[in-house]
Amino acid sequence: MERDAPIYVAGGQTLIGSALLRQLKSQGFTNLVGTPSDDLNLCSAAAVDNFFRNARPRFVIFAAGKSGGIQTNRSFPADLMLDNLLSQCHVIDAAHRYGVTKLLYLASSCSYPKQCPQPMCVESLMSGPLEPTNDAYATAKLAGITLCQADARQHGDNFICGIPANAFGIDDDFTPEGGHVIPALIGKIHRAKVESQPSVEIWGTGTPRREFIFADDLADACLFVLREYDDTQTPINLGSGAELSIGETAERIRNVVGYRGELVFDANKPDGMPLKSLDTTPLTRMGWRARTSIIAALNETYDAYLHQERKLQREPIHV
Ligand code: GDP
């Protein structure tokens, strides 16, 4: 990848997309086309076609499509599925028709079956029923993987797929309803601290386990596989190896935020998958490792949350 090659990050405004743009800039890539402010509607085939015709990207990373935490997936399964299906079909198809040199499609660890042997390896994809709380979103992601594989087989396109662990970080969705567990708990626990609430409600039993990856590390892994990985028929897991229970995660966030109240688990709320841990042997064998410790990443994410809050002027900051 030459430093001046035109590169398009589809979904540059998302958590992972914005981390990718930061990482590309910091690694000296100068020709980033279709910045988030262009406001390209990926659900419109005509708009995507028009964009590719004019911008002619040579490398594409697909980090677009609506996503959210467990509650968003339960409340808006159709919205999530449609948005992901439409946007990925348009971008992958345009990438094929306009002769993109290489494309990296980002799927999700929820594409794995609910009862998947752990750590999850790519051979287990499509081997069993999905977790019901996110089956619509996961099915769209599986379709995206299959479309990339099919384009490669039928047309010889170099379209590869990455499956990230649960990503979190700067530019995350910190709302209690929409966010994934880490940003949602940062928002909830910070608010409890500011409002001197005696306790915070944590959904579920606290026992499910998740592998987390800081979005900036994930972006680094994406650029690594874009350079080093060419097996179009075998997706590659993009994980950090940092696995925690939800209870442990909440406890660490409480320490980072400096909240002294109690964490109360509400077992009536859904747990989702009991465990999501990725087999990252292929990635680590190729020589990639995450750089940021979970605590450093949580601290950076909390700083980003405080910054965002200050910008929105929703409330005074108490650190
Ligand atoms: P998932 O990894 O796809 O299941 O999605 P999430 O990132 O939303 O993580 C969900 C896990 O965190 C489930 O076990 C939830 O019960 C638990 N959890 C606890 N509190 C919260 C919260 O405030 N928000 C979210 N999204 N999940 C929470």
The sign of the torsion formed by the CA atoms of 170, 176, 182, 188 equals: positive
Per-residue pLDDT at 318: 59
* C-alpha of residue 68 to centroid of ligand 1, in Å: 10
pLDDT tens for each residue of 274-314:
899 999 999 999 999 999 999 999 999 999 999 998 877 65
Give the Cα separation of 131 and 272 in Å (integer).
7
pLDDT tens for each residue of 114-146:
999 999 999 999 999 999 989 999 999 999 999
What average pLDDT score do residues 229-248 get? 97
Whether 315 has a pLDDT exceeding 60, the answer reads no
- Specify the residue with its C-alpha closest to ligand 1, atom 3: 70
What average pLDDT score do residues 192-214 get? 96
- Specify the residue with its C-alpha closest to ligand 1, atom 14: 271
DSSP assignment of 106-157 equals E--GGGS-TT--SSB-GGGTTSSPPPGGGHHHHHHHHHHHHHHHHHHHHH--
pLDDT tens for each residue of 65-106:
999 888 899 999 999 999 999 999 999 999 999 999 999 999
Task: Give alpha helix (H) positions in the chain.
Answer: 15-26, 45-55, 70-75, 77-97, 135-155, 181-194, 215-228, 246-257, 281-285, 294-312
- Specify the residue with its C-alpha closest to ligand 1, atom 4: 272
Whether 38 has a pLDDT exceeding 90, the answer reads no
CB-defined site of ligand 1, < 6 Å: 69-71, 110, 134, 166, 176, 179-181, 184-185, 188, 202-204, 208, 210, 246, 269-273, 276
Cβ–Cβ under 8 Å, residues 15 and 167: yes
Distance of CA 292 to the CA centre of its chain: 16
Catalytic (active-site) positions: 137
Per-residue pLDDT at 10: 96
* C-alpha of residue 266 to centroid of ligand 1, in Å: 12
* C-alpha of residue 204 to centroid of ligand 1, in Å: 8
203 pLDDT tier (thresholds 50, 70, 90)? very high
- Specify the residue with its C-alpha closest to ligand 1, atom 24: 181
Q: Phi then psi for 270, rounded to 5 degrees? A: -70, 145
Per-residue pLDDT at 209: 95
